[in-house]
Structure formats: structure tokens, C-alpha cells
């Protein structure tokens, strides 16, 4: 049942509220002719969901969700955050956000658990951008939900690319405005009831330059940063952006200069991360190289668990081993960079190449 591209009819923005959808059009202009049906379906869905949205808000106000300090995984897009997220989640000690609940944070208590039953069979079996296996319970990136809770999401640069370079840069590298802080708080609380006393394990590349915000909102949270050779990040980022925009952009993106946007944004994000992480203790912030994780995942994960004093079960490592066996045959696409690309990278990212290059 998942062979049909349902995401082109029921866009991820089907989990957004009406105000966010209207503000996106006011900010970026209307969808193209081809993108109009998906936008109209999303707007209609937001109106149908509105009574449940209000009910969820009332229920949260009357009985606020208690949050165990989360563990956040950060890293520039295409740095290996998903692989690390899946490995850590396989331990069985964390609560995570499955795709449908992640996309419907407005109705996490009411409609989302029911909708999940009906939507799960139609989810794609692999991710659109890279072929990584998906399932109805697969840990999902927070930005899927945050893009539906308000503006200031870099996903909006993909959905409405009329201001692609600006929205991509600001969504990844700018300090979190107050609306974004409220959205993060609401998203984490929306998932908190699912946690049932366990820490949430949350992954989002858009948090990489907002570590300070995360720790302001959740002072006892722990953060794991994964980095990857910048050359691989650049090539994988532009490839993933093109594929995602092919599937999910509701406007034409023919004029979007993807390469320039990535070249500009990456060093801004990494610099902000280094500045915000500098005063943090080893018990609160840890770093992992993607290359080390793929070469010796057991050693890297044991170090992470010890350094951050993460919870564990007697069978945690056995569960991780089982996941490693499942994904053993997956090979990420290699970097395909020409001489011009390499020259641009050496000019734009000298510090990052020195720090993270392999």
C-alpha cells in the first residue's frame, strides 16, 4: 500500500495549523499550479483538525506534561544524525517520535494516536532522500513537527523555495526567535506523554546552532553532536535537497541556488555550535565523528553512554547489535565532487575542513 506517492497528496504540512499555512503564503507567495492541490489539502486538513487542536491545547493547559530531561542529537544535515539516532534508539531506553506523531504535534493527545492507525500502512518503506529504511515506529526528525508549529523552519525553504537561500540559512544558523522557542517547548511536551517517564531521544539538524536554546528550555538535557567530513556533507546536502524539493516543494525551485546556500550556511552553523558548546561540561555535551561511528559503532556508543551517563538496560547492547545486523548491507552514496567543487570548499570552509575533514 505504500508504493503510491501519498506524500504528494497528503503533504507533511497536513499537520500544520491554518495560521502557519496562511503565513507561509503571505511570506513566500502562492503555490505553483502543480503544488496547489497539496496546499489546498493541507489547508482543508488543518480546518478539519481544528476542534482537536483546541482540545489538545485545553488538555495541556489543565494537565501539563512532565518532561524528563531529553537527549538531543544535533549535527548539520547529512552528517549522520539519522544513523546515530537509530542506533541510540535501538537500545530500548529512550522514547522517540514515530513519523505520524512527529508530524501532528498540535493533536498529540487526541487525534494523532487515532490517525496513526490509519496512516501507518501508507508510509513509504524508505526515506525519499537516501533509501534509509523506514517503519511506522522509526525515530523521526523533530523539524517535521516544528515546521507545522510555526515559522522559522528551514523545511519551509524546501516547501516554499521562493526565498530558498535566505530561509535555509536563517532556519539553520539564526538564534531561535521567541516563536521558535515556544514551538520547541510545545513539540517536546507533545511527545512527553508518550515517554512515560523515559527520556526522549530527539534528533534535529536545525538544533545544531540552537544548543543554547535547548539548554535554556531544558537545563538538564544532554546533547550529542555528530560531525562528518565537510566534503561528504556538501555533496550529500545538495543531492538530498534536490531530491526532497522534487517531491515536496509546492513552488518551482528552478532558481534556487542550492550549492551557494549550503556553502554559506554550513560554516555559520558550525561556528555557532562551537561557541555555544564551549562552556558545556563533558557530562552534558559529547561529540562523535560519523566516520568513527561507522568504523567502530560499539566503541563509540560505549564511550557516549559512559561520558553522558545515559540510562541502560541489561539487553541494550544486544538490541543495538540486532539493529546493526539489520542495516549491515546499507551503503551511503559516496561524494561526487569535481575540481571546481573542491576549490569552492577550500575557499569557503577552510576552518571546517581543518577541524572535521578526513
pLDDT (tens digit, 9 = 90+) per residue, 128-156? 666 677 788 999 999 999 999 999 999 99
The CA-based diameter of the chain, rounded to the nearest angstrom, is 60
Indicate the length of the chain as a whole number.
Answer: 358
pLDDT (tens digit, 9 = 90+) per residue, 195-208? 888 999 999 999 99
Distance in angstroms (rounded) separating the CA atoms of residues 84 and 73: 8
* 3 state SS of 136: coil
Residue entry with cell 507533511: 12
Q: What kind of fold does domain 67-96+129-356 have according to CATH?
A: Rossmann fold (3.40.50)
Contact 142, 214 (CB under 8 A): no
Percent of the chain with pLDDT over 70: 94
pLDDT (tens digit, 9 = 90+) per residue, 299-356? 999 999 999 999 999 899 999 999 999 887 766 766 689 899 999 999 999 999 999 9
pTM (2 d.p.): 0.95
Please state, in angstroms and as integers, the Cα–Cα distance from residue 304 to each residue in 78, 255, 268, following that order: 20, 42, 26
Distance in angstroms (rounded) separating the CA atoms of residues 249 and 31: 9
In the prediction, which pLDDT does 1 show? 47
Residue entry with cell 549522520: 80
Query: 209 pLDDT band (50/70/90 cuts)?
Result: very high
pLDDT (tens digit, 9 = 90+) per residue, 165-194? 999 999 999 999 999 999 999 999 999 988
DSSP string, 15-43: GS-HHHHHHHHHHH-PPPTTTHHHHHHHH
Closest CA to 139 of 106, 93, 176: 93
Looking at the predicted structure, is the pLDDT value of residue 3 above 60? Answer: no
Amino acid at each position: 500500500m505504500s508504493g503510491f506517492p501519498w506524500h504528494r497528496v497528503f503533504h507533511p504540512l497536513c499537520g500544520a495549523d491554518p495560521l502557519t499555512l496562511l503565513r507561509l503564503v503571505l511570506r513566500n507567495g502562492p503555490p505553483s499550479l502543480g503544488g496547489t492541490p497539496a496546499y489546498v489539502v493541507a489547508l482543508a486538513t488543518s480546518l478539519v483538525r481544528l476542534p482537536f487542536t483546541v482540545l489538545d491545547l485545553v488538555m495541556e493547559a489543565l494537565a501539563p506534561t512532565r518532561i524528563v530531561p531529553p537527549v538531543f542529537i544535533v549535527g548539520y544535515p547529512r552528517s549522520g544524525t539519522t544513523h546515530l539516532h537509530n542506533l541510540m534508539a535501538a537500545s530500548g531506553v529512550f522514547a522517540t517520535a514515530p513519523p505520524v506523531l512527529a508530524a501532528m504535534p498540535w493533536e498529540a493527545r487526541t487525534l494523532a494516536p487515532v490517525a496513526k492507525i490509519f496512516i501507518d500502512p501508507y508510509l513509504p518503506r524508505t526515506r525519499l532522500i537516501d533509501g534509509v529504511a523506514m517503519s511506522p515506529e522509526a525515530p523521526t526528525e523533530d523539524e517535521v513537527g516544528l515546521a507545522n508549529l510555526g515559522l522559522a523552519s528551514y523545511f519551509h525553504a524546501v516547501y516554499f523555495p521562493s526565498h530558498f537561500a535566505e530561509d535555509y540559512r536563517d532556519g539553520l544558523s539564526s538564534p531561535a526567535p521567541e516563536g521558535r522557542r515556544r514551538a520547541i517547548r510545545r513539540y517536546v511536551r507533545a511527545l512527553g506523554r508518550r515517554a512515560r517517564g523515559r527520556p526522549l531521544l530527539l534528533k534535529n539538524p536545525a538544533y545544531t546552532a540552537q544548543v543554547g536554546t535547548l539548554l535554556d528550555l531544558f537545563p538538564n538535557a544532554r546533547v550529542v553532536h555528530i560531525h562528518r567530513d565537510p566534503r561528504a556533507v556538501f555533496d550529500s546536502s545538495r543531492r538530498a535537497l534536490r531530491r526532497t524539493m522534487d517531491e515536496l516543494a509546492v513552488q518551482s525551485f528552478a532558481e534556487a541556488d542550492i550549492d551557494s546556500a549550503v556553502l554559506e550556511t554550513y560554516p555559520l552553523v558550525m561556528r555557532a555550535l562551537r561557541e555555544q558548546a564551549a562552556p558545556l561540561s563533558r557530562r552534558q555535551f559529547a561529540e562523535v565523528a560519523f566516520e568513527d561511528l561507522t568504523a567502530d559503532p560499539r566503541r563509540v556508543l560505549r564511550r557516549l553512554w559512559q561520558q553522558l551517563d545515559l540510562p541502560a538496560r541489561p539487553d541494550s547492547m544486544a538490541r543495538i547489535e540486532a539493529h546493526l545486523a539489520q542495516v549491515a548491507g546499507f551503503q551511503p552514496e559516496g561524494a561526487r565532487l569535481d575540481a571546481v567543487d573542491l576549490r569552492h570548499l577550500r575557499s569557503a570552509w577552510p576552518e571546517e575542513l581543518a577541524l572535521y575533514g578526513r
